Structure 1
Amino acid sequence: MKDLIIMYHYVMEPEHWKGSVPISPGEFRRQVEWAKEHYEIIHPENLHKHTTKPKCVLSFDDATKDQYTNAFQILKELEVPGYFTVMSGPLIEKKVPIFHLVHTVLSHFSDEEIWEEVSNRVDIDEIKNKSAIYSYETNEYRRFVKYLFNFYWSEEQSRPYLEEKVISIYTSLDMFIDKFYLSEKEILEMDAGGMSIGVHCVNHLPYEGSAQDFYDIEIRPCKKYLEKILNKEMKLYTPSFGGGEQSIQMQIELLPILKEQGFLLGFTTEKGFTDLREGFWHKRIDCNQLTINEVV
């Protein structure tokens, strides 16, 4: 058996978070217990550790609050480590990425309600046709709304509408950030509690342009921020969107820069098993696509 890296985002009850596809805390516990039985769950820094079973890394993207309140507490109880990557933009710049605003709005307002509010400002036929990229969404209004905010409108058009909706729930963006993302205190507690902390990004941008410019904008500031608060070198990196449409180009072009800056491992969104002892970039399997009977 090869090594397994499981990718997690939200760990919360699906009925409480309808804007995306979370894994419930109960199902998360079941997966971790299963992984603990069949694999050696390790810190990714310990990739060369000798184990009698194949290795497993439990990886978490985006550093949302539920990862502290739910995932971290379960990992402590089960006495296994997790690998959590931090997005520093919301904490430093107080700027929330569009996709998190979309998830939040769709978790608090109905798809039909949102579509009714915005449909008079768009080309309805174009959105209906092009929203087919979200064919996995059974609700057609959900398809329309996701395509509108993520592709049809620019960030400058989407942000004011989405922020106004979020503020109507959380009073202010600062309040939302406090409730939605890990705080410095929680990052420090998780680090002290035996979790691995890694670099995710600043503002969750997909890879584009020159590798050096991307590193300077999206990686270096996050690395410096974490090294300052944790007082140790950051050696783990997980790119936002797995790099996006240029993921393969990213893996090639960023690699020498990341190695020069002391990074040890990088984690993609490509699905599959891996060998942690070989190479820099490693595939992961999304927790909602993990078929246990197929793995064992």
Structure 2
Amino acid sequence: MEDLVVMYHYVMEPENWRGSVPISPIEFRKQVEWIREHYEIIKPEDIHRHTNKPKCILSFDDATKDQYINAFQILKKMGVPGYFAVMSGPLVERKVPIFHLVHTLLSHFSDKEIWEEISNQVNIDEIKNNCDIYYSYEMNKYRRLIKYLFNFYWPEERGRAFLEEKVISIYSSLDVFIDKFYLSEREIIEMDTCGMSIGVHCENHLPYSGNPQEFYEKEIKVCKRYLEKILNKEIKLYTPAFGGGEKSIQMQIELLPVLQENGFTLGFTTEKGLTELKEGFWHKRIDCNQLIISNVV
């Protein structure tokens, strides 16, 4: 039986966060209990350690507050390690990426209400003809239209202005939102002290640009330095935002030597599949909401 890396994002009640597809804390605990029964849950740093069962890494992207409040507390009580990849931009630059603003918008406002507010400002037919890229996991047509509009159709500046105004109407300011939504430095330090693994996710959650050195400087180096400063140790783990995006395979090839030159030893993609946790740099993952546990073993 092959090894397994499970990918988590939000760990919170789905009815409280409708902008994406979270796993509830209760289901998260059940999933970890099942995994622990069939796998040896390890830290990424321990991939070369011999185990009697196949190995599993529990990986978390984006460093949102729910991961501290829910996932970390559950893992700590169970004595199970997790690997948390941090996005430093909101903490360092106080800037929220577009996709998190969209998730927040869709969690607090009616899909139809939002679409009706913005539809008279766009070419509706053009968006309708292209938004089906979300069809595999967004059954609601308004959500598909809204996500395509903000993530692909409108320039970032225009979309950001609309989204930030909506978020501020809920949280009073972006600073308040950032403090409520993302891990704080104190929480990152506490998680590291309690045996969790910490790695680089990104600075501003951008897909791979095609220029490995430039991408490293803009999206990886700043985050690595930030984490090394607050944790006082070298950071060697990397999980690229969007798995690299449309150029994911190109990224894995071109970025690898740059990462290794700068001390990184492991990377985790969004390619779906099992892996072998004893050799190689890049490792596939399976999303927690697509993990059909009866078919894994």
What does residue 244 of structure 1 align with?
245
List aligned pairs for 1:97-176, cutoff 5 A.
97-136=97-136, 137-176=138-177
1:41 partner letter: I
CA contact (8 A) 2:210 2:247 kept: no
2:292 partner letter: T
Q: What's the C-alpha RMSD, in Å, of the aligned pairs?
A: 0.6
What does residue 15 of structure 1 align with?
15
Post-superposition CA distance 1:95-127 (Å, at most 9, x none):
000000000000000110100110110011111
2:79 partner letter: E
SS in 2 for 1:57: strand
What does residue 36 of structure 2 align with?
36
What does residue 279 of structure 2 align with?
278
What does residue 225 of structure 2 align with?
224
2:101 partner letter: L
Shift of 1:204: 0.2
SS in 2 for 1:199: strand
In the alignment, the residues of structure 1 paired with residue 169 and residue 46 of structure 2 have an alpha-carbon distance, to the nearest angstrom, of 45
SS in 1 for 2:86: strand
In the alignment, the residues of structure 1 paired with residue 55 and residue 110 of structure 2 have an alpha-carbon distance, to the nearest angstrom, of 42
Percent identity reads: 76
In the alignment, the residues of structure 2 paired with residue 210 and residue 142 of structure 1 have an alpha-carbon distance, to the nearest angstrom, of 33
Post-superposition CA distance 1:180-201 (Å, at most 9, x none):
0000000000001110000000
Shift of 1:277: 1.1
In the alignment, the residues of structure 2 paired with residue 14 and residue 252 of structure 1 have an alpha-carbon distance, to the nearest angstrom, of 36
Query: Aligned pair 1:235/2:236, yes or no?
Result: yes
Shift of 1:129: 1.6
In the alignment, the residues of structure 1 paired with residue 276 and residue 256 of structure 2 have an alpha-carbon distance, to the nearest angstrom, of 18
SS in 2 for 1:127: helix
Unaligned runs of 5+ in 1: none
In the alignment, the residues of structure 1 paired with residue 239 and residue 157 of structure 2 have an alpha-carbon distance, to the nearest angstrom, of 27
What does residue 52 of structure 2 align with?
52
Shift of 1:132: 1.8
In the alignment, the residues of structure 2 paired with residue 227 and residue 90 of structure 1 have an alpha-carbon distance, to the nearest angstrom, of 17
Post-superposition CA distance 1:257-286 (Å, at most 9, x none):
111111110000000011111210000000
1:63 partner letter: A
What does residue 211 of structure 1 align with?
212
In the alignment, the residues of structure 1 paired with residue 135 and residue 43 of structure 2 have an alpha-carbon distance, to the nearest angstrom, of 37
Shift of 1:209: 3.1
Post-superposition CA distance 1:214-251 (Å, at most 9, x none):
00000000000000000000010000000000000100
Deviates more, 1:132-141 or 1:167-176: 132-141
Shift of 1:135: 1.7
Shift of 1:130: 1.4
What does residue 24 of structure 1 align with?
24
Deviates more, 1:178-187 or 1:123-132: 123-132
SS in 2 for 1:95: coil
Shift of 1:84: 0.2
Post-superposition CA distance 1:161-197 (Å, at most 9, x none):
0000000000000000000000000000000111000
SS in 2 for 1:6: strand
What does residue 84 of structure 1 align with?
84
SS in 1 for 2:85: strand
1:97 partner letter: P
SS in 1 for 2:275: coil
Shift of 1:86: 0.3
SS in 2 for 1:94: coil
TM-score, scaled relative to structure 1: 0.99
Shift of 1:138: 1.8
Post-superposition CA distance 1:139-166 (Å, at most 9, x none):
1111111111111101011000000000
1:127 partner letter: I
SS in 2 for 1:163: helix
In the alignment, the residues of structure 1 paired with residue 85 and residue 46 of structure 2 have an alpha-carbon distance, to the nearest angstrom, of 17
Q: Any runs of at least 4 consecutive aligned residues in structure 1 with deviations exceeding 3 A, and if so which?
A: none
